[in-house]
Each structure stands twice: as C-alpha cells, then as structure tokens.
Structure 1
Amino acid sequence: MPTIIYPPSIPWNWMFQRPQQLLRQFANMGYTVLYEEPGLFPQPGAQKLSERFILCRGLPALKIPHPRPRILWLTVPSHIELIDKFAPDLTVYDAVDEPEEEFAGWKPYYPSVLRRAQLIFASSKSIFDKLSSQHPHVHLVPNGVDYSHFSAPLPRPAELPPGRLVIGYSGAVAPWLDWDLLQLSVRRNPGLEFVFVGALFDLARFPLKGANVRYLGLKDYARLPAYVQHFKVGLIPFKLNAMTKGCNPIKLYEYYAAGLPVLATPLPELLAVPKIQLEAEVERFSARLAHLAKQAEPDPGRAERQAFAQRNDWSVRAGQIQGIIDEIMRL
C-alpha cells in the first residue's frame, strides 16, 4: 500500500477536521500515513498513533523509512512548492475552502496547483464546478462525520447550565460567522442559553455579549460529542459571501449524527439537506430559533437526520477517495 505524507498544516489535536479524519481513515485502510505536525519541538521525534499512522513532531517525514509509491496530500495551496522536496509519485490537492475572504492569500498559488497536482478533490459543489473546468481530474468528495463518535450517548458536561435550553455552536469561532444575526438572536431570546465551543480564529476576542451567552473555548475531540449531544438546536450561522459559498460544514454532519435539529443561514451546500431549517433574515432567524427551541420531544425528524449522517461517514468518503486514487495510479 502507498504512503501518504501530509506536510505541516494543522496541529493534530486542533479542532479535528477533514485532513485528520481522512488521513486516520486511510491508515485504517492500510496506507502508511506520515503526518508532519507544525510547530517547534525541543526533542524532535516520531509518535506512533496506530500501526500505520506516525505523527512527525519536528522530524521530517522523509527520514522515516516507508513504502512507495509516495503520495503527497496537500490542503494548503502554498505547499505545492514542496513537490520537489518530497518527490512524490502522486500529488493530491484536497480543496477544502474557496480562496476568498480570509483565504484570499491562497489565490496566487492556484495556477501552480492546477498545473502540478495530478488529482484534486473538492469538498463542495462550488469548488468542484470552478476547478473541474480547469483540471482533468477533479472529484467531488463532501465532508462527513465519525458517526459512531457523535451518536454514542454521553453524560451532560458540568459546564452546560442545568435546567436551561442550550442553543449551541461547535466549530471555529471566526469572522465568517454572522455576528450581527447572532447578537440579535441572543437579545430576542433571553430564556435560551447560547453556548459556543471551538477555537478563536482570526479574532482577538469572543465577539458576543449577553448574560445568556457562554464561550467555552476549544474542547478535546474525544469529549466534543458530550457538548453537541446536549444542545437543543445546532447553529450554522455563516455569512453569505464568496468564501462561504464553497463551505460544506462538517458541523452539519456532527449535529445530525447527534440527532439535533439545525438552524442555518442558506449556504448553497445546505439547500438540499433533508430536515434542515434555513433562514437569512435576522428577525426571522431569531423567531425560528425560538420556535425550534420550544418543540416537544420526541423529535420526529431525529431518525432521518441520523440516517443522513450515517450515510456520510468518513469511512464512506475515504473509500470513495481510495477508489479514485487506485484508478489514477493505474493510468
């Protein structure tokens, strides 16, 4: 089986995202995965996370003996300049966001990506449509979820206020959230507790104010489902702009695996999702949120949402990618 090298991009334990999820699945399928962790390490070394998954902490992946063929897996466009260093047999670019707004700095590298990557995966239809007209091997592979991780029931964390309906957000606390919409929803719904879980990204401080708002910071991925499962409603309150047009939110699948009703702004990737609630206008968003919070249990849509999440497990996504890689490496 091939070796996949992932150059320093995302810390292994920082908001377990698409790269960590897919690469872990690849190791389970028999690939050797060498994950170079960013940062400075006083004692460089390799940490074996599983039989075939090695975390390289300050140690270059090329110093670790590994089988060929060698696949270079990229999610940061500027890393296309690492091809000569790694001499891969196959270079894959996994396009996870549009090169717009906060990620506009990626745009200058796209000509090189389109020229030098032999295979491109797109996490959303918007990204797929744009890149497939410029490259012969672009494949749509949306995000997914570790279904068993988010669906297995866990006790309510002590940080969540007892006896209160919790409206929750899990993910990057970032400029692309619609903070004006959220602030109005907080003011209009004083009887609801708004809880945000995740790391600050491109923000100096948490932007919302209110007695019914709690920012709990980044949580370990192992414990994250315990928070999500005890939300009454899961939020995806993104601004509608050039960058979010290409967002296929991982949190959707995680909320659905936990069985949650979801209220979101109408991102293109969410328009065809079953049982989702979409609203762009701020007053109506707030009113619909109040209505969802009051819905009685048992929730009749829960089973359908969880079935949707289960169909979109990361193992399914990795299997799809493996078939495409096998096919292109036989060409």
Structure 2
Amino acid sequence: MSYLPDLVCLSHLRWKFVFQRPQHLMSRFARERRVFFVEEPAWGPGPTRMEVSRSPEGVWIAVPHIEVEGASQVTPAPPPGIRMDPDLLEAIQRELLEELLEDQGVNNFVLWYYTPMALAFSRRLRPRAVVYDCMDELSAFTGAPPVLVQREAELMRHVDVMFTGGHHLYEAKRERHSNVHPFPSSVDVPHFAQARRGPDAPHDQAHLPRPRIGFCGVIDERMDLVLVEGVARARPDWQLVMVGPVVKISPDSLPRLPNIHYLGGKSYQELPAYLASWDVAMTPFARTPATRFLSPTKTPEYLAAGRPVVSTSIRDVVRPYGELGLVRIADTPEAFVRAVEESLSQSHEEWLPRVDAFLSRLSWEHTWRGMKDHVDRAVEARSRQHPVSTPEPQMET
C-alpha cells in the first residue's frame, strides 16, 4: 500500500492572520495527509524553540520562536533596537525546521513555498517534490528585501511545479519555468452566499445609516486612500465601511471622516454577516507596482454574497469580471461615485443569474483538486527518476 507524502508549507503569512488562499488549500490537503505550515519567526520570552499547535482544520502550525532577553510579550517582528545577524537567524530557522521534521517523523514529503526567502534555511531538505505557489509579485511590496528577486530565481531552478495567483502574473512568469499554471483566486460560494439570506447586521455596523459601501480585507499600501477619501467627501450621506486589519501603514495615514468607519479585522466566519447589509461592495486598490499582479479574493466573495461590486482597474478584475459586466470599473472619485450610484439603482434580476453561472465554475475545491493533480504528477515524475521507499507516516490525533 502506498501513502501520500506529507506536505511542508513555508509561508510568509500567519495562519491566524486572515483566512485566504494558503488556508483554503492547506486545509483541504490536511483531509488526506499531514500538513505542516511553517510560519516566519515570532520574537519574545525564551527559550528559542519551535512552537507547534494544531488548527481546527487539522493543519499543524509551526512557529519558530526566537528568544529576546528581557521581553515580556511575543511580537511578530523583532522589538525595536533588537538586531540579529541574518546568517545566524537562518541557521536557527534551519535547525528548528530540521528538528521539527525529525521529531514528527517527516521523511516522505512535498515542500511547498509561499516565499522564496524560505529557501535560505530549507536548501538541505530532500523532498519528494518542490512546489512554488506564487500568490503575488512580492518584490514589488513595500519593505521587500533586495535579495528576494535573486532568491526567487534560485527557487525556480529547483521547483517541479509552479502556480500563480492570477492570469496576469502567469503571463509574467511562464517564460521562466517549464511547468507553470495559473490558478486565480477562488471562492467558497456556500459560505459567502449566507449573506443573501440577510443575517442580522453585527452590532458595530447595525447603527450605520444606509447606503453602506463596504470593503473587507487587509488595509495596507495597496489601498487607494485618496480615492476612498474622495468618495467619502463627494457623498457624505454614504457610509464607507472598512473591515480588516491595518498592516504596514500607519493608522494615522488613514482618511478620517464622519462617514468612514474602520471596524478592524473580523474572522472568516463573521464576514457574511457584514456583507449582508452592504448595499455595494468595493475594491479601491491603487494602481501601483504592488497591485500590478493582484488577483483580489474579495471580488468573487462579494459576488457570492450577492453584492454589486465597484473596483478600480486591477487587471485581473477587469478581465474577466469587468469585461463580463459582473463588476463596474472606476478609478477616479467622480467615476467611482457614478459607478456606485449605478450599482445602487440596478436590478439584480438579470445580473445575479449571470453572477451565479460564472461562480459555478469557480471554487476552492476545484482549485485544490487541480493543484493536487499537478503535485501528484510532480511526485510521480521525481519518483521515476529517483526511486525512494515511502514509509507509513506517523499519524497523530
């Protein structure tokens, strides 16, 4: 009897941050095999160790914990004034990762990268296959390390199969590897369709007048804050509801007007209730290098919730959503206001069936199965070249 290899995922994103692409995919892989999701280090009281826990979805979450002398709490980045030699940090991560795999009996596994930077401490591993799921062009993000481009080039020389988070990103990467496949953002339709049944508005939103124009997602340098402010000033009778954590930008940089409401991050389970009482959903992303290859997960989620959508001209939103007439596209405050006004007055009778027909071909289950097929073929191809024994994994409950 043969056994599926474990999956070891090296990620720059936290499992508990927001429930997005890595969480959807790894949760599904965990139905059939052991999955270890290795995060970037956390910093705090000692000793240095790998902290391992299990998520409700059955994924093993491993967080390298770096000791900071005198620290009283754990932080996701080194406290101010604390500097660690990069080579030393990589050595610590390498040792903790290798100890984790040895302790858990992980010797038959697929290595899955979300960040090329993890290559620095994982080069010595001997996986059955290597996967790179390139969600975005990370080198274009604020604060990206200069070496990231070099690391990605090195990683792509070793991967067996590569996925991209959108079609535009696929077009940019397909000439750099012989086995690249586009897998744009998908959606859990039943989850977000709960919004169509009209659950009661959450307490921090229920008191807001209508109409409500909402956004949910990470609020960071990709957001067009000038556009958001311009819309709010043009229509003070509209309530702009911003649901999500503020990341990598100062909260002081956010426009503060009486009709803009920042409600903070919410759990994945709570999102349908927020979307249910929005009149229009929006994706007001800036058009910058950081959004050039963006494929927003929010777009299909909004549509599954039955909300009309207005978006800036992000390429993977324009095509296919804008071209199919499922989403309105606008880039200036004036055009955005007009698009929202049109959305508020539109009839759903003709539009919603077309939305549902499109979404019927788009699901995380379908995406996962497609990726799994490619991964299985990569494992099989490597096995033909380098036959190995596949011992039974140590299953834990």
Is the pair's TM-score, using the shorter chain for normalization, greater than 0.5? yes
1:303 is aligned to 2:309: no
Partner of 2:265: 218
From the superposition, tell whether residues 16 and 254 of structure 1 become closer, same or farther in structure 2 (CA, over 3 Å).
Answer: same
Tell me how far apart the structure 2 counterparts of residues 221 and 52 of structure 1 sit (CA, whole Å). Answer: 17
State the structure with more CA Rg. 2
Which of 252, 263, 286 is the matching residue for 2:337?
286
Partner of 1:231: 278
What does the per-residue CA deviation read over 1:236-278, in whole Å, with 9 as the maximum and x for residues that have no partner?
1111223312111001111111111110111111122131101
Partner of 1:83: 122
Superposed displacement of residue 193, structure 1: 0.5
Tell me how far apart the structure 2 counterparts of residues 261 and 52 of structure 1 sit (CA, whole Å). Answer: 35
Q: Is 1:70–1:88's contact at 8 Å kept on the other side of the alignment? A: yes
Partner of 2:201: 156
From the superposition, tell whether residues 131 and 167 of structure 1 become closer, same or farther in structure 2 (CA, over 3 Å).
Answer: same
DSSP 3-state at the match of 2:203: coil
The two structures, once aligned, show a CA RMSD in angstroms of 2.3
DSSP 3-state at the match of 1:311: coil
Which of 122, 127, 148 is the matching residue for 2:164?
122
**AA aligned opposite 2:6:** T
Superposed displacement of residue 80, structure 1: 2.0
**AA aligned opposite 2:140:** E
From the superposition, tell whether residues 307 and 182 of structure 1 become closer, same or farther in structure 2 (CA, over 3 Å).
Answer: same
DSSP 3-state at the match of 2:262: strand
Tell me how far apart the structure 1 counterparts of residues 304 and 34 of structure 2 sit (CA, whole Å). Answer: 29
1:188 is aligned to 2:234: yes
Which of 246, 254, 266 is the matching residue for 1:207?
254
Partner of 2:84: none
May I ask how many residue pairs the two structures share in their alignment?
329
DSSP 3-state at the match of 2:30: helix
Which of 47, 58, 61 is the matching residue for 1:55?
61
**AA aligned opposite 1:255:** Y
Tell me how far apart the structure 2 counterparts of residues 103 and 255 of structure 1 sit (CA, whole Å). Answer: 30
TM-score (norm 2): 0.77
**AA aligned opposite 1:137:** N
Superposed displacement of residue 71, structure 1: 1.1
Superposed displacement of residue 148, structure 1: 1.8
Superposed displacement of residue 67, structure 1: 5.8
Superposed displacement of residue 21, structure 1: 1.2
DSSP 3-state at the match of 1:25: helix
Superposed displacement of residue 49, structure 1: 3.1
Which of 290, 293, 300 is the matching residue for 1:243?
290
Q: Is 1:172–1:198's contact at 8 Å kept on the other side of the alignment? A: yes
Structure 1 portions without partners, runs of 5+: none
1:100 is aligned to 2:144: no
Superposed displacement of residue 95, structure 1: 0.6
- What is the percent sequence identity of the aligned residues? 24
Tell me how far apart the structure 1 counterparts of residues 172 and 222 of structure 2 sit (CA, whole Å). Answer: 21
From the superposition, tell whether residues 66 and 256 of structure 1 become closer, same or farther in structure 2 (CA, over 3 Å).
Answer: farther
Q: Is 2:11–2:115's contact at 8 Å kept on the other side of the alignment? A: no
Tell me how far apart the structure 2 counterparts of residues 292 and 122 of structure 1 sit (CA, whole Å). Answer: 31
TM-score (norm 1): 0.91
From the superposition, tell whether residues 204 and 299 of structure 1 become closer, same or farther in structure 2 (CA, over 3 Å).
Answer: farther
Partner of 2:306: 259
**AA aligned opposite 1:230:** S
Partner of 1:15: 18
Partner of 2:243: 197
Tell me how far apart the structure 2 counterparts of residues 41 and 6 of structure 1 sit (CA, whole Å). Answer: 23
Which of 344, 356, 373 is the matching residue for 1:323?
373
**AA aligned opposite 1:293:** L
**AA aligned opposite 2:33:** Y
